[in-house]
């Protein structure tokens, strides 16, 4: 039998909190899997390897994440740092996929 996740405001025990964190981590991994799927699509669509890295787009994505975090009352600076790492990891993955698709690995 699967227990449903308790929302943060309804948690009454640390067991509830930990179960919620674990469930949220699984959801985050599913979202990351989808995000990296978009990196695979970009690698397939982009014809020029030099177009994989787009500093203006990177800056916009990080700025959007920072603004969203600020609006939610979350630690915007630290989350922007996390987003920078996420975007850099995504770019590296897209380069790997671009090369793989064109047998340049």
- pLDDT of residue 93 exceeding 70, the answer is yes
Cα within 13 Å of Cα(55), Cβ side: 0
CATH fold, domain 13-101, is Chorismate Mutase Domain, subunit A (1.20.59)
Q: Is the pLDDT of residue 105 over 70?
A: no
Contacts of 92 (CB under 8 A, 6+ apart): none
pLDDT in tens, 2-59: 567 899 999 999 999 999 999 999 999 999 999 999 999 999 999 999 999 999 999 9
The separation between CA 102 and the C-alpha centre of its own chain, rounded to angstroms, equals 25
Question: If you count them, how many residues does the chain have?
Answer: 105
Read off the tokens for 65: 């994440």
- Alpha-carbon distance of 97 to 76, in angstroms, equals 31
């Amino acid at each position: 039998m699967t227990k449903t996740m308790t929302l943060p405001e309804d948690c009454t025990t640390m067991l509830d909190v930990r179960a919620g964190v674990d469930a949220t981590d699984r959801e985050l991994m599913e979202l990351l899997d989808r995000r990296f799927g978009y990196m695979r699509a970009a690698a397939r669509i982009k014809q020029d390897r030099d177009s994989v890295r787009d500093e203006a787009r990177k800056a916009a994505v990080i700025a959007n994440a920072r603004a969203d975090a600020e609006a939610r009352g979350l630690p915007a600076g630290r989350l922007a740092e996390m987003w920078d790492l996420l975007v850099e990891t995504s770019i590296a993955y897209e380069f790997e996929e671009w090369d793989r698709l064109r047998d340049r690995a």
